[in-house]
A = this chain, B = another copy of it.
Amino acid sequence: MEAAKLPYDRSYNFSAGPATLPTEVLEQARDEMMNFQKSGQSVMEMSHRSKVYVDIFTRAQNSLRQLLSIPDNYDILFLQGGATMMFAGVPLNLLKTGKEGKPTVDYIITGDWSKKAADEAKMYSDYCNVNIVVDSKQGADYKTIPDQSTWKLTPGAAYIHYATNETIRGVCFNTLPTFPEDAVVVCDMSSDFLSRPIDVSKFGVIYAGAQKNAGPAGATIVIIRKDLLGRQLQICPSALNFKKQADKASMLNTPSTYPVYICGLYFDWILKHGGLPWIYQQDQEKAKLLYQTIADSKGYYELFVTDPKVQSMMNVPLRVFAGGEQNKENMTPHELKFVAEAAKLGLVNLKGYRDLGGIRVSMYNALTLDGIKMLCEFMKQFQAQNPPL
C-alpha cells in the first residue's frame, strides 16, 4: 500500500483532540498570519477591543448562530478553560434558582467525561445535592446507555446534565433523550459539536471545548438561554461568570483571540460547503464505511460499543486481540504493529486511550472521507497480512 500523498505532506490525523483541522482553514490562517486583510497586524496582535478584531469575533458568533440555527433568546459566549472548566462553571452558574432549600442537580453518567462532570459538581456539595440519574458503568462498563425507564430524574432539579458523546469509549446519544418540558437541560457537546443539526431550543446550556470538532484548543463555546443568566453563586470566578460575560459580549476579560478566529474560519468552512446537513451526511458516510469494515472483519476487529443505537460517529475504540500478551499500556502485539504501520502510511494518532488500550479512530468533522477510505483499506490489508497468532 502506498503512503498517502496529501498536500504539504500532511498526515491523516485520527487524534481524539486537539484534532485535525480543515486544510483550507490552516491555509487561510497561514496566509493572514503576518498581516490580516491589510490591517497591518496579525490577528494574534490585535487589541480585543479594536474594531478589526471585534468584527472577527462577532462574525464567528454569527456564523455559529447560523450553523446551529440558534434562537435569539440564546447568548453565545466564547470563554476559556475547555469542558473541564465548564464542569465547575455549570454548578457555579446555575445553582441560585430562587427556590427555597438546597437545590438538587441531576447527572447522567455514560462515560468518563460525564463522570468527571458529576464529580466536579460534588465539590459544591455545600450548595447542591448531586443526584446520579444513571451510571452506566454499573452493569454495562460504559458500553451502552441504559433505557430511560430506569433513570431516576429529580422533579424540580436545578438542571439535568449529560454529555452527548463520550470521547473515550465512543458511546453516543444519537437522539435527544426525553426530558420533562420544564427541565433545564445542560449538555457537554465537546466531542460531537456541529456534527449534526440539533434543536437548540431543547437545551438550557450547551457547551463545548472547540478542539475536537470546531477549532483549536483554548476556545470554549457556551450557548445559554438568556433567562438562565443570573443564577450564579457568589463564589463563581468573574471570568467564568456567564452573566457577567454575557453582559460584556464575552469580553469581560481578554478572550482567547486567536483560537476564536480559527473557530470562525472553521464555522465559515462548514457553512461554505453546505452547513450541518452537509457535515452530517459526510460524518454518516465516514462512520458507515468504518463500521462496515469492522463488521466485514468477522471479529478480527472488535468494537468496544456493539449496540448500534449508541455507537458514535466520532470516536470508535476497537481492539485487535489476535493472540499475544498485552503490554503495560494494554496494547497487544497486533495493535502495536497496526499503529506503527498505519503511521508509516500517514495515518496517525490511532493509539487508543491509555486506560482502555487498543486502537481508537476519531473522525471529526475535518477528517475527510478520503482519510477513512484509506484507513479502511489499510485495515483490510492488515488483517490479510497479520492472521491471529
| Chain A residues packing against B (C-beta within 8 Å) | 7-11, 13, 15-21, 23, 26-27, 29-30, 33-35, 38-42, 44-48, 50, 80-85, 87-89, 92, 120, 123-124, 126, 209, 211, 216-219, 234-235, 237-240, 252-259, 262, 346, 348-349
> Which B-chain residue is minimally distant from A258 (CB atoms)?
B216
User: Closest CB of chain B to A26's CB: distance in Å?
Assistant: 5
User: Closest CB of chain B to A341's CB: distance in Å?
Assistant: 15
Residues in B with CB closer than 8 Å to A16 are 47
Determine if A47 and B18 form an interchain contact, defined as CB atoms under 8 angstroms apart. yes
Residues A85 and B254 in contact in the complex (CB < 8 Å), given A41-B13, A45-B18: no
Determine if A34 and B48 form an interchain contact, defined as CB atoms under 8 angstroms apart. no
The 10 closest A-B pairs by CB, nearest first: A11-B40, A88-B237, A218-B256, A84-B253, A30-B33, A8-B34, A85-B239, A44-B216, A80-B80, A15-B47
> Which B-chain residue is minimally distant from A89 (CB atoms)?
B237
Known: A85-B237, A123-B235. 8 other contacts (CB 8 A): A11-B39, A13-B40, A18-B254, A81-B240, A120-B238, A211-B257, A217-B254, A217-B258
> Which B-chain residue is minimally distant from A120 (CB atoms)?
B238
User: Closest CB of chain B to A232's CB: distance in Å?
Assistant: 10
Residues in B with CB closer than 8 Å to A29 are 33
> Which B-chain residue is minimally distant from A33 (CB atoms)?
B30
Interchain CB contact (< 8 A) of A218 among B13, B46, B80, B209: B80
Determine if B9 and A35 form an interchain contact, defined as CB atoms under 8 angstroms apart. yes
Determine if A218 and B41 form an interchain contact, defined as CB atoms under 8 angstroms apart. no
Residues in B with CB closer than 8 Å to A209 are 254
Residues in B with CB closer than 8 Å to A254 are 17-18, 82, 84, 209, 211, 217
Determine if A81 and B81 form an interchain contact, defined as CB atoms under 8 angstroms apart. yes
Residues A42 and B21 in contact in the complex (CB < 8 Å), given A120-B238, A255-B217, A256-B259: yes
| 22 A-B pairs (CB sep. < 8 Å) | A8-B35, A9-B38, A11-B39, A21-B45, A33-B33, A40-B348, A44-B216, A80-B81, A81-B240, A82-B239, A82-B254, A83-B253, A84-B238, A87-B238, A88-B240, A92-B237, A120-B237, A123-B235, A211-B254, A217-B257, A218-B258, A237-B237
Tallying the copies of this chain within the complex gives 2
Task: Please measure, in the bound complex, the distance between the C-alpha atom of A219 and the C-alpha atom of B89, giving whole angstroms.
Answer: 19
Task: Please measure, in the bound complex, the distance between the C-alpha atom of A26 and the C-alpha atom of B36, giving whole angstroms.
Answer: 12
User: Closest CB of chain B to A41's CB: distance in Å?
Assistant: 6
Determine if A349 and B50 form an interchain contact, defined as CB atoms under 8 angstroms apart. yes
Task: Please measure, in the bound complex, the distance between the C-alpha atom of A45 and the C-alpha atom of B362, giving whole angstroms.
Answer: 13
User: Closest CB of chain B to A50's CB: distance in Å?
Assistant: 7
Residues in B with CB closer than 8 Å to A253 are 81-85
Task: Please measure, in the bound complex, the distance between the C-alpha atom of A380 and the C-alpha atom of B40, giving whole angstroms.
Answer: 24
Determine if B18 and A27 form an interchain contact, defined as CB atoms under 8 angstroms apart. no
Task: Please measure, in the bound complex, the distance between the C-alpha atom of A156 and the C-alpha atom of B30, giving whole angstroms.
Answer: 52
